Amino acid sequence: GAVVSQHPSWVICKSGTSVKIECRSLDFQATTMFWYRQFPKQSLMLMATSNEGSKATYEQGVEKDKFLINHASLTLSTLTVTSAHPEDSSFYICSASLTNTEAFFGQGTRLTVV
């Protein structure tokens, strides 16, 4: 199947700093990627839809100025958590689709803000 690579797999940062997470589709082009957030022992919540060449679409309640998404090419989307705080600590997962019938997920990034 198609491969989606997410980097880094884990990151620890100080409160107030920004962190960038990359999501790459390695062997296919994805016009649409999705970013999810997962709290411990909970489900995945969609944060935003990343559209290549246009602005991301954010879900209700997600601060677009805090979670900056850039989808500059057909194989790369980035999520930047700006001015991170401890409550932003979470597991962030991206997915990319070839079609609307299957998504391929990255390995996830565990963000810890201290």
Partner 1 sequence: AQSVTQLDSQVPVFEEAPVELRCNYSSSVSVYLFWYVQYPNQGLQLLLKYLSGSTLVESINGFEAEFNKSQTSFHLRKPSVHISDTAEYFCAVSGVGAAGNKLTFGGGTRVLVKP
| Contacts to partner 1 by CB under 8 A | 1, 4, 6, 9, 30-34, 41-46, 49, 91, 93, 95, 97, 99-103, 105-108, 110
Q: Minimal distance in Å, beta carbon 46 to partner 1?
A: 7
Q: How far is the CB of 83 from partner 1 (least distance, A)?
A: 26
C-alpha dist (Å) from residue 25 to 15, 33, 66, 71, 103: 30, 9, 24, 12, 11
CA-based end-to-end distance of the chain: 37
CA distance 67 to 79: 6
What's the token pair of residue 95?
Answer: 């997915």
Nearer to partner 1, 45 or 62 (CB): 45
Smaller CB separation from partner 1, 53 or 99? 99
